[in-house]
Amino acid sequence: MKPPSFRLKIALFSAIISGVVLVAFSLAAFLLISKQKIESLDTEIRSIGTRQPGWITNRRDFKRLDEALGFIFGEDHRDQVILLVKNAADGNILYTSAGWPSDCDPAQLDCTLTADPKAPPAAVAPKEDGTASNGRGWGGKGRGLGPGSGAGIGPGNGAGSGASQTLFTMLPKFLTIRTGAGQWRLGMLGTADTTWIIGLNFAQSLDELARLRNAFWVALPLALFLVGFGGWLVAGRALRPMRMIASTAERVTSRGLDQRIPMTDEDPEIARVILMLNRMIDRLENSFQQATRFSADASHELKTPLAIMQGELENALQDACPGSREQQVFSGLLEEIHRLTTITRGLLLLSRADAGQLKPATENLDLTAMLNGLIEDIRVLAEPARLDCVVHLQPQLHVSADPVLLRTALLNLLINAVNYNEPGGKIQVTLEQLDPHVVLTLGNSGPGIPELDQSRIFTRFHRVDVARQRQVDGVGLGLSLAREIVRAHGGELELQKSKPGWTCFVLRLNA
């Protein structure tokens, strides 16, 4: 499985990190809003209990107070508030509003309240005539809900300064209960002898929280997509110099060492990397040019002394007595000179290919006729090993090629097919035209090329262990030279397959 790209990883990590942050922030915000909603309900319950002191303390008309609370919330929200009054001493229920949930047993509620240490020693209760015992009037300019000009629940024209007095001597307690009709927020307010339980429906607040939660779950995927897409774009822009570096590096070959990565001023870090890579390519180019010049110069300089030595050995071989030791020595030396000449010629061709100076002198060449001539020579080499040559050549196939160079490449392939074969084996040569190429397929029944060596068979001077064990003549330049010659003609040479018992090469040239 192909690993994900670095750009995709950045986009995914951005989305994951942003998602974690958004979920954590939204959870904290949701909890804060929920707490604020509950606190607002608690504040409203306190307000309901403390702004009508007359009815809560000495009037004891609980039904009328219940109706007044319904009037405060309106007819549409009459069922949003409930009221229950209990005797603090014996726990007897003094009043229960009509909207009290039937599945909520008041006896199961813990109505125990703690005395408020900040409460005054004695609560001040308004009298029937609207005056307080401390001389402060109860009918000031505030709002009441009774007859008169105010909006008070008692007689007179308002709930004046007496309404601001502390009537509850117990610390309030709040809790949330769940019933079949929904959730209720209950507030327990009381004095030493009476406990008031005022409840507000929590449904509206829960609906608001649910809408907020749903909006978050809808917005979260969109936010993560936008963050991921933004990370993808940012990563793409950040990796643009890396793609440019990779593109240039692909063009840096033995014939493209003049390629350089364009400098950029966008990112100082990337600019430094590009500078270091360009300097490294400079060093590689200089080293490669020196090695190429040395190989070419050495091969060129060796041609003349080798030719002289070959001529002298040939003359000495002719003058030596037949069967003498001198003749044997001269014959062996002449073979080594031929071997050195072949290596020198191959190195010279390869150095020219590396320098881009291997320019074939092309002409219209009958490839079928050339192969027929070479195969006749190969049959002679194959006779000692009793090799069977199976040939299928399509007649009169012409290519534009250099006859000397192409002959060298084809001869190297055919000689390898003979040398790396088994006694009594087979060589199969097929030539056909498959537009737009002329395709030569050359196979032999040898031991095969080990899998580890298959990717290196075109490397110069590389020889597989089979060649060393069988003492096959050669230095490992034949295949690399053949491929360079074919590439110089615009073609390609490759190993099609190799397994024990059969190895096959394919050569393609433009028709």
Band the pLDDT of 475: cuts 50, 70, 90. low
Question: Based on the domain organization, do 18 and 90 belong to the same domain?
Answer: yes
β-bridge partners, 183:
178
Domain's final residue, options 325, 354, 383: 354
**Cα 120 from Cα 211, distance rounded (Å):** 44
Q: Look at the chain and report how many structural domains it folds into.
A: 3
- Mean pLDDT along residues 216-221: 88
**What 3-state class would DSSP assign to 3?**
coil
Q: Burial of 61 by CB count in 10 Å (0-12 exposed, 13-18 middle, 19+ buried)?
A: middle
**Cα 426 from Cα 445, distance rounded (Å):** 5
**Cα 479 from Cα 109, distance rounded (Å):** 97
Band the pLDDT of 153: cuts 50, 70, 90. very low
- Residues of the chain with pLDDT > 70: what percent? 80
Domain's final residue, options 335, 354, 373: 354
- Mean pLDDT along residues 186-198: 86
Q: Which residue has the higher pLDDT, 110 or 77?
A: 110
pLDDT confidence of residue 76: 55
pLDDT confidence of residue 459: 82
Nearest to 447, CA basis, from 409, 481, 414, 417: 417
pLDDT confidence of residue 134: 40
The per-residue pLDDT for range 247-303, each reduced to its tens digit, is 887 777 766 677 787 887 767 777 888 888 888 888 887 877 777 677 667 766 777
Looking only at the bridges linking them, the beta strands covering 388-393 and 194-201 are unpaired
- Mean pLDDT along residues 55-80: 60
Please tell me what DSSP assigns to residue 443.
E
Q: Which residue has the higher pLDDT, 354 or 322?
A: 322
Identify residue 468 by its one-letter amino acid code.
R
Does 216 reside within a domain?
no
Please tell me what DSSP assigns to residue 59.
I
Nearest to 109, CA basis, from 21, 173, 46, 166: 173
Lowest mean pLDDT among 141-155, 209-223, 237-251, 451-465: 141-155
Structure tokens at 506: 């394919």
Residue 372 and residue 393 in contact, taking contact as beta carbons nearer than 8 Å: yes
Q: Is the pLDDT of residue 480 over 70?
A: yes
- How many distinct helices (H) and strands (E) make up the chain? 12, 12
Residue 42 sits at φ, ψ, to 5 deg, of -60, -40
The structure tokens 């900040």 sit at 118
Distances in Å between the Cα of 358 and the Cα atoms of 124, 287, 295 are: 116, 20, 14
Question: Based on the domain organization, do 394 and 315 belong to the same domain?
Answer: no
Q: How many residues does the chain have?
A: 511
Band the pLDDT of 150: cuts 50, 70, 90. very low
Question: Based on the domain organization, do 46 and 105 belong to the same domain?
Answer: yes
Band the pLDDT of 406: cuts 50, 70, 90. very high
Domain's final residue, options 322, 354, 386: 354
Q: Work out the number of other CB atoms within 10 angstroms of the CB of residue 359.
A: 10
Question: Based on the domain organization, do 185 and 278 belong to the same domain?
Answer: no
Question: Based on the domain organization, do 279 and 189 belong to the same domain?
Answer: no
pLDDT confidence of residue 145: 35
Band the pLDDT of 101: cuts 50, 70, 90. confident
pLDDT confidence of residue 152: 37
Ramachandran assignment for 135, one of left (phi > 0), alpha (psi -120 to 50 degrees), beta (any other): left
**Cα 24 from Cα 233, distance rounded (Å):** 25
Q: Is the pLDDT of residue 43 over 70?
A: yes
Percent of residues in the chain assigned helix, strand, coil, to nearest 5: 50, 15, 30
Lowest mean pLDDT among 89-103, 126-140, 180-194, 264-278: 126-140
Band the pLDDT of 444: cuts 50, 70, 90. very high
Highest mean pLDDT among 65-69, 131-135, 203-207, 406-410: 406-410
Question: Based on the domain organization, do 420 and 384 belong to the same domain?
Answer: yes
pLDDT confidence of residue 1: 62
Distances in Å between the Cα of 241 and the Cα atoms of 117, 190, 231, 265, 397 are: 73, 75, 17, 11, 48
pTM of the shown model: 0.49
The per-residue pLDDT for range 353-370, each reduced to its tens digit, is 777 777 888 899 999 999
Does 42 reside within a domain?
yes
Chain CA centroid to CA 456, Å: 33
Highest mean pLDDT among 29-33, 160-164, 304-308, 469-473: 29-33
Does 223 reside within a domain?
no
Question: Based on the domain organization, do 428 and 323 belong to the same domain?
Answer: no
Lowest mean pLDDT among 292-296, 345-349, 394-398, 443-447: 292-296
Q: Which residue has the higher pLDDT, 62 or 144?
A: 62
Question: Based on the domain organization, do 421 and 483 belong to the same domain?
Answer: yes
Q: Which residue has the higher pLDDT, 502 or 301?
A: 502
- Mean pLDDT along residues 54-62: 53
Measured CA angle at 60 (ends 54, 65), to 5 deg: 70
Band the pLDDT of 208: cuts 50, 70, 90. confident
Question: Based on the domain organization, do 419 and 371 belong to the same domain?
Answer: yes
Q: Is the pLDDT of residue 133 over 50?
A: no
Identify residue 249 by its one-letter amino acid code.
A
Measured CA angle at 247 (ends 241, 248), to 5 deg: 90
Does 153 reside within a domain?
no
pLDDT confidence of residue 132: 42
Lowest mean pLDDT among 51-60, 189-198, 440-449: 51-60
User: Is it true that the peptide bond before 384 is cis, omega within 30 degrees of 0?
Assistant: no
For residue 171, the enclosing domain spans 6-123+166-209
The structure tokens 């190989």 sit at 295
pLDDT confidence of residue 237: 80
The structure tokens 């002679």 sit at 380
Does 477 reside within a domain?
yes
Question: Based on the domain organization, do 173 and 80 belong to the same domain?
Answer: yes
**Cα 179 from Cα 177, distance rounded (Å):** 7
Average pLDDT over the chain, rounded to whole? 78
Structure tokens at 166: 């502390």
Residue 200 and residue 177 in contact, taking contact as beta carbons nearer than 8 Å: no
β-bridge partners, 493:
507
Does 228 reside within a domain?
no
pLDDT confidence of residue 394: 92
Lowest mean pLDDT among 54-58, 100-104, 288-292, 337-341: 54-58
Q: Is the pLDDT of residue 158 over 80?
A: no
Upper half-sphere CA count for residue 454 (Cβ side, 13 Å):
15
Residue 312 sits at φ, ψ, to 5 deg, of -65, -40
CATH code of the domain covering residue 333:
1.10.287.130
Residue 310 and residue 341 in contact, taking contact as beta carbons nearer than 8 Å: yes
Strands (E), 50-181: 81-87, 93-96, 173-179
Q: Is the pLDDT of residue 431 over 90?
A: yes
Nearest to 113, CA basis, from 178, 170, 181, 45: 170
Question: Based on the domain organization, do 406 and 503 belong to the same domain?
Answer: yes
First-to-last alpha carbon distance for the chain, in angstroms, is 40
Does 445 reside within a domain?
yes
Measured CA angle at 351 (ends 349, 355), to 5 deg: 115
**Cα 47 from Cα 41, distance rounded (Å):** 10
Question: Based on the domain organization, do 418 and 476 belong to the same domain?
Answer: yes
Identify residue 210 by its one-letter amino acid code.
A
- Mean pLDDT along residues 160-166: 40
Residue 131 sits at φ, ψ, to 5 deg, of -115, 150
pLDDT confidence of residue 147: 35
Does 422 reside within a domain?
yes
Band the pLDDT of 443: cuts 50, 70, 90. very high
CATH code of the domain covering residue 55:
3.30.450
Structure tokens at 40: 């607002």
pLDDT confidence of residue 252: 75
Lowest mean pLDDT among 60-69, 292-301, 318-327, 433-442: 60-69
Long-range contacts of 256-260 (CB under 8 A, 24+ apart): 257/281, 257/284, 257/285, 257/288, 257/289, 258/285
